[in-house]
Amino acid sequence: MKKIILTIMLIFGLVITTLLPQTNALAASNQPGFSVNIVKNPFQSQDIGYFDLTGLKAGDKTTLQLDVSNLSAEAVTFDVITSNALTNQNLIIDYSGQVSEGQKVDGLHFSDLAKPRQAVIHLAAHSKTLVTIHLTMPNVTFDGQIMGGIYLKKHDTTSKTAGIHNTFSYANTVIIRQGNQDIKAQPKVSDASYKAKNNVSTVTAKVTNSEQAYLSNAKVTQFVTDESGKTIKSESSDYRAFAPRTTTPINVQMDILLVPGTYYLHLKVEDGARVIESKTPFTINATAAVVTGIATINNTLWLFLGMIMFFLLIILFLLWFFLWKRRKKDEDEEDNNENKSEKNE
The pLDDT score that the predictor gives to residue 45 is 86
Based on its alpha-carbon atoms, the radius of gyration of the chain, rounded to whole angstroms, reads 31
Q: b/e string for 31-65 if b means 16 or more Cβ within 10 A?
A: eebbebebeebebbeeeeeebbbeebeeeeebebb
Evaluate whether 131 touches 152 at the Cβ level (below 8 Å).
yes
- What's the distance, Cα to Cα, between the start and end of the chain in Å? 39
pTM value?
Answer: 0.73
CA atoms within 13 A on the CB side of 148: 23
Same fold? 32-178, 187-288: yes
- Cα dihedral: 95, 101, 107, 112 (round 10): 50
Helix (H) or strand (E) holding 339: helix 286-344
The pLDDT score that the predictor gives to residue 102 is 87
Instruction: Give dist(CA 197, CA 194) in Å, integer.
Output: 9
* Residue-range domain boundaries for the chain: 32-178, 187-288
φ/ψ (deg, to 5) at 187? -70, 130
Q: What share of the chain is helix, strand, coil (3-state, %, to 5)?
A: 25, 45, 30
Report the SS3 class of residue 216.
strand
The pLDDT score that the predictor gives to residue 302 is 55
* CATH top-level class of 32-178: mainly beta
Q: What is the pLDDT along the chain (345 residues), one digit of tens a residue?
A: 444 444 444 444 444 333 333 333 333 333 458 889 999 999 998 889 999 999 999 999 999 999 999 998 999 999 999 999 999 999 999 998 888 888 899 988 999 999 999 999 999 999 999 999 999 999 999 999 999 999 998 876 554 444 444 456 889 999 999 999 999 999 999 999 988 887 788 999 999 999 999 999 999 999 999 999 999 999 999 999 999 999 999 999 988 888 899 999 999 999 999 999 999 999 988 877 766 656 665 555 556 656 777 777 888 888 877 777 777 776 666 666 665 555 555
Instruction: Give dist(CA 62, CA 293) in Å, integer.
Output: 57
Burial class (CB within 10 angstroms; exposed 0-12, middle 13-18, buried 19+) of 111: middle
The pLDDT score that the predictor gives to residue 47 is 86
Evaluate whether 182 touches 211 at the Cβ level (below 8 Å).
no
> Would you say domain 187-288 falls under CATH 3.40.50.150?
no
Evaluate whether 62 touches 42 at the Cβ level (below 8 Å).
yes
